[in-house]
Amino acid sequence: MAPMKYKSFAHMNCSIAQTLEIIGERWTLLILRDAFRGVNRFEEFLQTGMSRNVLTERLKRLVDQGILEKRAIDGKSSEYLLTRKGVHLQPIMLSITHWGDKYMANPKGARTIFFEKNTGKPIAPMSPHSVDGRALKPQDIGLKAGPGSSSWE
Amino acid sequence: MAPMKYKSFAHMNCSIAQTLEIIGERWTLLILRDAFRGVNRFEEFLQTGMSRNVLTERLKRLVDQGILEKRAIDGKSSEYLLTRKGVHLQPIMLSITHWGDKYMANPKGARTIFFEKNTGKPIAPMSPHSVDGRALKPQDIGLKAGPGSSSWE
DNA sequence: CAGTATCCTACGTGATACTG
DNA sequence: CAGTATCACGTAGGATACTG
């Protein structure tokens, strides 16, 4: 019998599938969450609760994908910093956080607050917008196949 | 030796961790993606590529969590519909799609286009906004512990 | 069509010891 | 401190047969 493996999502012609192939593993998003909080050292990331081998592999993958950059600090230590590509994951993080805040709320209130530095005010919940800046409701949005679609619908 | 299990994220006092505990499994987000495209039948979901037992379990979990609603169609068939809670996952879907569009682009262009029904125009890339509706850049945003935080920082 | 039920395997994971 | 290296284990996942 031919060997069996988990199916890769990478070949699927879909942004969601391909993105999940990179950041969809069990601990990866928690590592990234930490990175957005300013965590950048191996031993710090460990505090989140995964074991060393898992962290090693995830970090390697994130560096390979250009989401984190590894920088030597003084020959013996290194740090991991979000690249531009990594920083652009921010809307995903915020969306997940806001959904969790709403549907898995801690009774005492939000656990993490994202605020605008200029004003100190919390940001608005993530929402889609039109190109000219109007907030849109879920039902205002339709979807269709684009030029990169092989074919669906 | 005490039995070993995958560590649950559920106890972590974190919106991201708890959300991942629900929608973070390998096929779940692809099922939800399909649901947003109007897929609602078992055999249709199967086309995405997972096996029956996996689909069965994922659907059950999503129904349990109130993200999908299972409705009998005529005694023999049933369909799965996004609840309000499920629809509110839309920003997550959109954010992931846009990131994938940018960093894992298909050379021919977007595969799925989200557009505003009223105008027919594609929506803007997902971005955080201030409460009064100004788009914010990643570096405009800070984060701090909220009232529900046990303690960090 | 919509599942349920097996069986099997490999991968993700956890624990921990070890190295520079 | 920042990893690398083992090893063992269970669960997610794959294939497929079966049922109403």
Disruptive mutation site among B116, B119, B134 for chain A (greatest number of A CBs within 10 Å) = B116
- State the pLDDT confidence band at A2, using cuts at 50, 70 and 90: low
For A87-136, write each residue's pLDDT tens digit: 999 999 999 999 999 999 999 999 999 999 999 999 999 999 999 999 99
pLDDT tops 90 at residue A68: yes
Instruction: Give the percent of chain B with pLDDT over 70.
Output: 96
| Segment (H or E) for B68 | strand B68-72
Q: What's the CA gap between B35 and A121, in Å, rounded? A: 35
CB A100 within 8 A of CB B13: no
Residue in A closest to B149 by C-alpha: A111
pLDDT digits (tens, 9 = 90+) for A140-151: 999 999 999 975
Counting residues of chain A whose pLDDT is more than 70, the rounded percentage is: 96
- Residue A133 with chain B: CB contacts under 8 Å: 124, 133, 135
User: What is the average pLDDT score of chain B?
Assistant: 94
Residues within a 7 A CB radius of strand D: A 4-7, 41-44, 51-53, 56, 59-60, 70, 73, 76-79; B 1, 3-6, 25-27, 50-54, 76
- For the residues A29-43, what does the mean pLDDT come to? 98
Position B22 pLDDT exceeds 70: yes
Spatial distance between the Cα atoms of B2 and A99, rounded to a whole number of angstroms = 35
Nearest amino-acid residue to C6, taking CA and C1': B53
The CATH label, of 1.10.8.60, 1.10.10.10, 1.10.287.3610, 3.40.50.2000, for the domain at B15-87 is: 1.10.10.10
Taking CA–CA distances from A132, the nearest residue in chain B reads B124
Contacts of A126 in chain B (CB under 8 A): 91, 95, 126, 128
The whole-number pLDDT of residue B1 equals 47
pLDDT at B3: 58
Q: What integer best gives the mean pLDDT of chain A?
A: 94
Confidence of residue B153 (pLDDT cuts 50, 70, 90): very low
Summarize the confidence of residues B123-143 as an average pLDDT: 97
pTM of the predicted model, to two decimals?
A: 0.95
Type of residue numbered B51: S
Consecutive H or E run containing B32: helix B28-36
A90-103 and B15-23 helices cross at what angle (nearest 10)? Answer: 90
Q: What is the pLDDT of residue A150?
A: 79
Q: Is A72's pLDDT higher than 90? A: yes
Q: Which of A95, A101, A111 sits opposite B91 (nearest CB)?
A: A95
Residue A152 confidence class, pLDDT cut points 50, 70, 90:
very low
What are the residue ranges spanned by the domains of chain A? 15-87, 89-137
Closest nucleotide to B42, Cα to C1'? C2
Cross-strand bridge partners of residue A82: A68
Chain segment B74-101, per-residue pLDDT in tens? 878 899 999 999 999 999 999 999 999 9
pLDDT band at A76 (very low <50, low <70, confident <90, very high): confident
The Cα-based distances of A83 to A62, A70, A80, B58 in angstroms read: 10, 10, 9, 34
B111:A14 CB<8 A: yes
Whole-angstrom Cα distance, residue A148 to residue B143?
37
Q: Identify which of B60, B135, B106, B40 has the alpha carbon closest to the alpha carbon of residue A132.
A: B135
Length of chain B: 153
